[in-house]
Amino acid sequence: MAAQDSGSRRAVMVALVLVMLTCAGGMPVSRQRLEVQKHLKRLNKPAVKSIKSPDGDIIDCVHASHQPAFDHPFLKNHTVQLRPTFHPEGLFDESKTASSKESKAITQLWHLNGRCPEGTIPIRRTKRDDILRASSVKRYGRKKHRSFPQPRSADPDLINESGHQHAIAYVEGDKYYGAKATINVWQPRIQQPNEFSLSQLWILGGSFGEDLNSIEAGWQVSPDLYGDNNTRLFTYWTSDAYQATGCYNLLCSGFIQVNSEIAMGASIFPVSGYHGSQYDISILVWKDPKEGHWWMQFGNDYVLGYWPSFLFSYLADSASMIEWGGEVVNSEPDGEHTSTQMGSGHFPEEGFGKASYFRNIQIVDGSNNLKAPKGVGTFTEQSNCYDVQNGNNGDWGSFFYFGGPGKNSKCP
């Protein structure tokens, strides 16, 4: 009898252990752990040197030829283009970037503790917790579907379905070969960990259906992706409307980095203060007319790398729309609105030092020249929550203020 009781107890204990070893999604914990470990090994390449950033990040200096881009089957025998053939407004001049090396300001927090050697690229190390915060290992580093602004449609059902809201300026109706902007940098408050707030430019091709091509760059605050509320430089790309292709930063193969000084996904420092000092970053993305790749430049000094043209269908030729502005995720149910801030968290009419801005927005034309955009439109789904106001003057060229607090008396 005692032996029988003991056997029953053992069976119950085994059953309990099996339950405990199964995660919420039905996958055994041991299998999930194995998948996470495999993914970490894929992402975190062997480092020549590692730098601990004051914000807790570890920046690995990885040999440029070992970066995640080359996991792509089409890039196995790719000859890296070390610099663009042409820069907008003329032939790319390397002396432009070399001349100011002595006087570069700190642009990312990790620079306080060191730099990566030539021939390597800095990669923010992915931690186990980063992946576990994602809905699945497969979705880590990817945007959810329907996260693009549609200026022609402010359908409330679409807003509620997607949960993404925008305040943007845009141009369409021509062929575009790049875009530039100087973007005011803030640290907006995020209400829920699964929400984010960003300021970016979009280079878009195709329709807003399943075939959308997009290249994106700017700054973002995303607790879900990074595990904190720091303002970080980011990029994104997709060739199928965020379904299966593309990712943030270097979290999948695609973008080829050639710069040893700027880390995608690393914290930007310093940020602007309300009624205080204002800081901004300059971002340029353009299509090299000779090789066809899409290059990215950060500030005046850092040509970061490129997205090979074969990644795209429509963008292999040109873009059909350019957008600049802000985006947030509103995850609140039952018609409630999030208090996640966009930009500075203040409305455009408050102006300089209080509201966030984009200035000197430009497009790259078919002759590889930077030009002020014509016929700039603006769009926001709910102007009582987040708004946008554009203008033009001699100092700032084409500019706009944008953003807002989200939930307030007029945006319940």
CA distance 410 to 404: 12
Report how far residue 342's alpha carbon sits from residue 393's, in angstroms, rounded to the nearest whole number.
24
Q: Which of 195, 216, 323, 381 is catalytic?
A: 216
- State how far the Cα of 27 lies from the Cα of 14, in Å rounded to an integer: 17
Q: In the chain, what is the straight-line distance between the N-terminal and C-terminal CA atoms, in Å?
A: 66
Among residues 195, 261, 323, 327, the one annotated as catalytic is: 327
b/e string for 134-156 if b means 16 or more Cβ within 10 A? beeeeebbbbeeebbbebeeeee
Check if 161 is active-site.
no
Neighbouring C-beta atoms of residue 56, cutoff 10 Å:
13
Closest to 255 measured CA to CA, from 270, 271, 239: 239
DSSP 148-199: S--TT---HHHHHHH-EEEEEEEEEEEEE-EEEEEEE------SSTT--EEE
Task: Reply yes or no on whether 35 is catalytic.
Answer: no
Contact between residue 356 and residue 344 where contact means Cβ atoms under 8 Å apart: yes
Question: Any idea which residue has 């590889």 for tokens?
Answer: 368
The answer to whether 361 and 397 are in contact (CB under 8 A) is yes
The 3 state secondary structure assigned to 210-241 is: CCCEEEEEEEEECHHHHCCCCCEEEEEEECCC
Which is it for strands 164-176 and 120-124: parallel, antiparallel or unpaired?
Answer: unpaired
Q: Pull the structure tokens for residue 96.
A: 């432009």
How far is residue 183's CA from residue 370's CA, in Å, rounded to a whole number? 17
The pair of three-digit structure tokens given for residue 262, joined into one six-digit string: 């700027």
Which are the catalytic amino acids?
Answer: 216, 327
